[in-house]
Amino acid sequence: MYLYEGIEKAEKKLRAVLLGCGEQAVNMIHNAISYLDEIEVVAVCDKNKERADFAARRLGLSRSYQDAGRMLDEVDADAAFIITIAGLQAALARQCIEAGLHVYTEKPLGTELPDLLMLKEAAAKHHRKIGVSFNKRYNLAYRDMKLAIESEGFGAPSAFIAKFIGGYRSNETDLLRVGCCHFFDLARYLIGELDEVYAYKYEKQPGQHMFAVNGRFVNGCVASMTFGALGSWVCGYGMESVEVRGDRNMVSAENGRDFTWQKPSRIREPEAGLENKGTQAVIEAAVPVEIMRPNYSNLGKLAMKDFYINGNYQCVKAFAGAILNGTEPPVGYADGLMALKLALAVERSAAEHRPVKIGEIEG
């Protein structure tokens, strides 16, 4: 049975509390949750009462909370969705786990390694599960990129090229551990585990950083990544891009929207006198380029919602389904930990002017 196209009627409900009612929480995660029939929101919490009251009204609740501890004491719930300041999320997640709830956090899972290790211990002790909002894995463009890479004829990925220019950041920690963690996760999702990074840093002035990062994956693929806080993402163009090179073809995504696949070229039939010339221009014939660009003209459809195109809806749905079915969330603690370890490796490489093995980062 369907509520309407794209939304299934759920047989089981996940009782959820929402911690954090800021812009990202309300516009992305709360909106996504409101379209998921398997989630029943039973309470919201934010230190700012006006924000919390607004979120409560939108979700059909008669009151809100400003104290997380009080909410956890008074409300019967199965899971907590924590969408707040990055540096606070690991501590709040641990508090919710110790109260008996599974947790889903906005990225990053945490900004300090000791916090994540304590969170892991709490989850193991209380037998709770952790999900992380690495929604770009479900983003329509990156999903199609993954399918292309795994398709016949793409070949082994040879190069991962990424750019993220995230606007002003107060420090390099905010840039790398918070802003760039999506791209560390995308590298692992699309290619595999990274073995080593070498980073160069340019700091024009406090809050304006640029990092050029070269890397090598365990499978031999190389990486070239540029991360920066010199620029603005308000305009929506030139903010992020990802490209993966295969054998005589490539896929790319611009701004998490425009997907392009240059499919493998066709080999011409051998022609007299050309067999040994060796240039691609002689032996290969061009093929069309496949382009996917979201259509925003029908906003009434779920698939045209920003939180669906960005992958937030699918990521939340996958977590809820895992908890209801007693399985592990597809994006969880290990992914949050690895994103932080990659950021720490980049920081160490830039500071010590040397290549850093990811295995050097303990945790």
Lowest mean pLDDT among 23-32, 121-130, 155-164, 202-211: 202-211
Lowest mean pLDDT among 59-63, 265-269, 305-309, 323-327: 265-269
When the pLDDT of each residue in the chain is averaged and rounded to a whole number, the result is: 90
pLDDT at 192: 97
Lowest mean pLDDT among 80-84, 208-212, 245-249, 273-277: 273-277
Rounded Cα distance between 138 and 142, Å, is 7
> Which of 139, 162, 163, 145 lies closest to 250, judged by CA?
145
Measured CA to CA in angstroms, residue 256 lies from 229, 276, 281, 291, 292 at distances of 18, 42, 32, 13, 11
> Is 360 a residue whose pLDDT tops 70?
yes
Average pLDDT over residues 184-193: 98
Fold of 135-302+336-350: Dihydrodipicolinate Reductase; domain 2 (3.30.360)
More confident residue, 274 or 249: 249
- Which residues sit opposite 356 in a β-bridge? 197
pLDDT at 342: 98
Q: What percent of the chain has pLDDT above 70?
A: 91
Burial class from Cβ neighbours inside 10 Å (0-12, 13-18, 19+) for residue 88 reads: middle
- pLDDT tens column, 15-29: 999 999 999 999 999
Of 2.40.110.10, 3.30.70.3000, 3.30.300.130, 3.40.50.720, which CATH number belongs to 12-132?
3.40.50.720
Whether the CB-CB separation of 240 and 159 falls below 8 Å is answered with no
pTM of the model: 0.91
Domain ranges of the chain: 12-132, 135-302+336-350
Matching CATH topology for 12-132 and 135-302+336-350? no
Eight-state DSSP code of residue 222 = E
> Is 187 a residue whose pLDDT tops 90?
yes
